[in-house]
Amino acid sequence: MAELKNRRYLDALLRKPVDRTPVWMMRQAGRYLPEYRATRAQAGDFMALCKNTELATEVTMQPLRRYPLDAAILFSDILTIPDAMGLGLYFETGEGPKFKNPVRDLMDVSALKVPDPNKDLKYVMDAVSSIRRELKGEVPLIGFSGSPWTLATYMVEGGSSKTFSKIKRMAYEEPEALHLLLTKLAESVTEYLNAQIDAGAQAVQIFDTWGGVLTHHDYREYSLDYMAKIVDGLNRNNNGEKVPVVLFTKNGGLWLEDIAATGCDGVGLDWTINIGDARKRVGDKVALQGNMDPAVLYASPDRIRQEVSMILDSYGEGTGHVFNLGHGITPEVNPDNAGAFINAVVELSKTYHK
């Protein structure tokens, strides 16, 4: 593999000095880009795009050709593990992901097998290897997975949910079934991320999209404890290089100290928390990633620049900040506005790194 030329992202996560704040965007390869929409149309559908090594590599590279980003992120989906478990993932237009075979009770959970990432999810590892080759060491590659709790919500609900009634009923009435499911998912995610690291991922992120719907006690029991098990089980060193891990819980600001105590290297923040306050709470224990509201990208370039400046000023001087959105970029955003955001971070952040 080619030697890495731009280390800002990895160095910031490891709280090493950088010349400016690194920046990337969640869902940076996505529907807001016309070239992505063209490639997806060529693939036929979303999962066909994920499973086509050449096209998954192409869409991963597309935002890097447009913008001075400091990291690439594997193009895939968080629901690849449940799909490999035989749940029959499919996508309804306008309705998001659904499963033909949802998991509803202890018998269903007991029948699930932990997938072999190098067989059942080989297409993901092929994409990681291909993207690393294509990057030629320009920027690092981020691998990722959904958290056990977030994966479980889709598996039990059968798709997206607003109330999470089915999985919360399982938590309160059949907790042994939910814990067995989360145990299997934690094992699956650990093996999956380690396989991505072996294939060439230089950092990994766990997306806990739905941890914030849990009560204070249940968040630790059903989400954080399982993410902590994954952090403990990850291969954090590959070819002599430290592999940082980032945990991101949407609406997780309440548990910031607990997330930082898992042993992760970075904590992702959504836009509902002040990043300066977050930095005071965690000190130098972890790096922070975030946290501009993606909706700011609907504003004028001047307003976007103002928001970037405010977040940089709130974090303050020194390393340990990876600039990102507080969640994924939305499909209606003008690509020029995304460019204005990234350029503002590149230009304005230099003064915070002496």
Within-domain flag for 176: yes
- Measured distance CA(66)–CA(17) in Å, rounded: 26
Q: Please indicate whether residue 15 is annotated as part of the active site.
A: no
The residue from 32, 154, 192, 219 that is catalytic is 154
Q: Is 7 annotated as a binding residue?
A: no
Q: Please indicate whether residue 154 is annotated as part of the active site.
A: yes
Sign of the alpha-carbon torsion through 125, 131, 134, 137 = negative
The residue from 40, 104, 132, 279 that is catalytic is 40
Q: Please indicate whether residue 123 is annotated as part of the active site.
A: no
Q: Residue 273 above 90 pLDDT?
A: yes
Q: Residue 57 above 80 pLDDT?
A: yes
Within-domain flag for 179: yes
Q: Which residues contact 263 (CB under 8 A, 6 or more apart)?
A: 228, 231, 232
Q: Domain containing 150 — which CATH number?
A: 3.20.20.210
Within-domain flag for 322: no
The residue from 11, 70, 77, 208 that is catalytic is 77
- pLDDT bucket at 278, cuts 50 / 70 / 90: very high
Instruction: Work out how many domains the chain is built from and give that number.
Output: 1
Strands 203-208 and 245-249, how do they pair? Answer: parallel
Within-domain flag for 151: yes
In this predicted model, what pLDDT tens digit does every residue of 86-131 receive, in sequence order?
A: 999 988 777 789 999 999 999 999 999 999 999 999 999 999 999 9
Q: Is 152 annotated as a binding residue?
A: no
Q: Please indicate whether residue 104 is annotated as part of the active site.
A: no
Q: Is 45 annotated as a binding residue?
A: no
- pLDDT bucket at 189, cuts 50 / 70 / 90: very high
What tokens does 267 get?
């904590």
Q: Please indicate whether residue 133 is annotated as part of the active site.
A: no
What tokens does 334 get?
């003008």
Q: Is 29 annotated as a binding residue?
A: yes
Q: Is 77 annotated as a binding residue?
A: yes
Q: Is 154 annotated as a binding residue?
A: yes
Within-domain flag for 261: yes
Which range of residues forms the domain containing residue 193? 25-288
Give pTM, 2 decimals: 0.97
Within-domain flag for 317: no
Q: What is the DSSP string of 270-332?
A: -TTS-HHHHHHHHTTSSEEEEEE-GGGGGS-HHHHHHHHHHHHHHH-SSS-EEEEESSPPPTT
Q: Is 200 annotated as a binding residue?
A: no
Within-domain flag for 101: yes
Within-domain flag for 311: no
User: How many residues are given for the chain?
Assistant: 354
The residue from 7, 8, 15, 27 that is catalytic is 27
